[in-house]
């Protein structure tokens, strides 16, 4: 998130004035066994940071359709609770796991929520900590009220390229249009089935 843009400080002031922290949904409580799941001989991995669980549902749907391993990232806590606790998307922040062995995977999907029209810092920090050499990468995100600007999408993709990966797709889902979580999962499954050939090749369907 670039806070130097003229409109964003004004937004921050309004959020503070009207107590927006009170209208931010609380973080989801995640059990340790919900952070990771594996599939025998999986060649794809879905990695997600999700504060309230919405983007995690999108990631789980992708994992089911692809037969992929699943990994949910965690931070120190408090990120995204309000404007003032949301780190800039370009910041390097602690994320766990910090580094993941990716040798067995040909396809890696990495995603998280958009905060203030920018990718969240935890997903971005994870990307910049990995060796993605030779990997096909799908970036994905959920948003509510506004997509990322094209120039931000381009820079996000460039970080993957900087780690040796190749972005083959970018997927965003507008939660506001879908309402309930069940509809979000259905839309994610639809997208995954629709793009399966692009992601893993027709010969592997």
For residue 73, give both structure tokens. 């990232």
Instruction: Kindly state the average pLDDT of the residues 30-42.
Output: 88
Going by C-alpha positions, the residue among 183, 200, 193, 197 that lies closest to residue 62 is 193
Kindly report the number of other CB atoms within 10 A of residue 29's CB atom: 7
| Angle in degrees, CA 19, 88, 146, rounded to 5 | 65
At residue 25, the pLDDT reads: 77
At residue 12, the pLDDT reads: 45
Arithmetic mean of pLDDT over the chain: 85
| Helical residues (DSSP H) of the chain, grouped into ranges | 7-17, 54-66, 121-128, 150-162, 175-178, 181-194, 196-200
Query: In the predicted model, is pLDDT for residue 139 greater than 70?
Result: yes
Query: In the predicted model, is pLDDT for residue 17 greater than 90?
Result: no
Grouping H, G, I as helix, E, B as strand and the rest as coil, residue 140 is: strand
Report the range of poorest mean pLDDT among 21-30, 42-51, 104-113, 167-176: 21-30
Whether 160 and 139 have beta carbons less than 8 Å apart is answered as: yes
At residue 23, the pLDDT reads: 57
Instruction: Kindly state the average pLDDT of the residues 16-45.
Output: 74
pLDDT in tens, 42-59: 999 999 999 989 999 999
- CA 156, CA 152: separation in Å to the nearest integer? 6
Helix axes 54-66, 181-194, angle to 10 degrees: 40
Query: In the predicted model, is pLDDT for residue 123 greater than 60?
Result: yes
- CA 46, CA 36: separation in Å to the nearest integer? 10
pTM for the whole structure: 0.84
Query: In the predicted model, is pLDDT for residue 41 greater than 60?
Result: yes
User: What count of Cα atoms within 13 Å lies in the side-chain half-sphere of residue 63?
Assistant: 21
- CA 73, CA 15: separation in Å to the nearest integer? 27
Query: In the predicted model, is pLDDT for residue 29 greater than 80?
Result: no
pLDDT bracket for residue 5 (50, 70, 90): very low
At residue 27, the pLDDT reads: 73
Report the range of poorest mean pLDDT among 3-7, 104-108, 150-154: 3-7
List, in order, residues 6 or more apart from 92 with CB less than 8 Å away.
121, 125, 128
pLDDT in tens, 62-117: 999 999 999 999 988 777 667 777 888 899 999 999 999 999 999 999 999 998 89
């Amino acid at each position: 998130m670039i806070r130097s843009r003229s409109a964003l400080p004004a937004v921050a002031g309004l959020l503070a004035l009207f107590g927006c922290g009170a209208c931010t949904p609380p973080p989801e409580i995640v059990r340790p066994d919900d952070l990771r799941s594996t599939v025998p001989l999986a060649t794809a991995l879905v990695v997600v940071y999700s504060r309230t669980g919405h983007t995690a549902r999108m990631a789980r749907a992708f994992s089911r359709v692809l037969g992929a391993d699943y990994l949910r990232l965690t931070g120190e806590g408090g990120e995204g609770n309000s404007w003032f606790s949301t780190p800039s998307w370009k910041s390097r922040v602690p994320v766990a796991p910090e580094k993941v062995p990716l040798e067995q995977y040909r396809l890696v999907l990495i995603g998280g929520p958009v905060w203030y029209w920018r990718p969240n810092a935890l997903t971005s920090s994870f990307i910049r900590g990995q060796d993605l050499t030779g990997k096909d990468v799908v970036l994905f995100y959920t948003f509510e009220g506004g997509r990322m600007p094209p120039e931000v999408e381009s820079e996000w993709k460039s970080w993957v390229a900087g780690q040796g990966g190749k972005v083959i797709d970018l997927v965003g889902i507008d939660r506001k249009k879908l309402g309930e979580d069940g509809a979000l999962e259905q839309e994610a499954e639809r997208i995954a089935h629709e793009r399966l050939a692009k992601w893993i090749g027709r010969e592997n369907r």
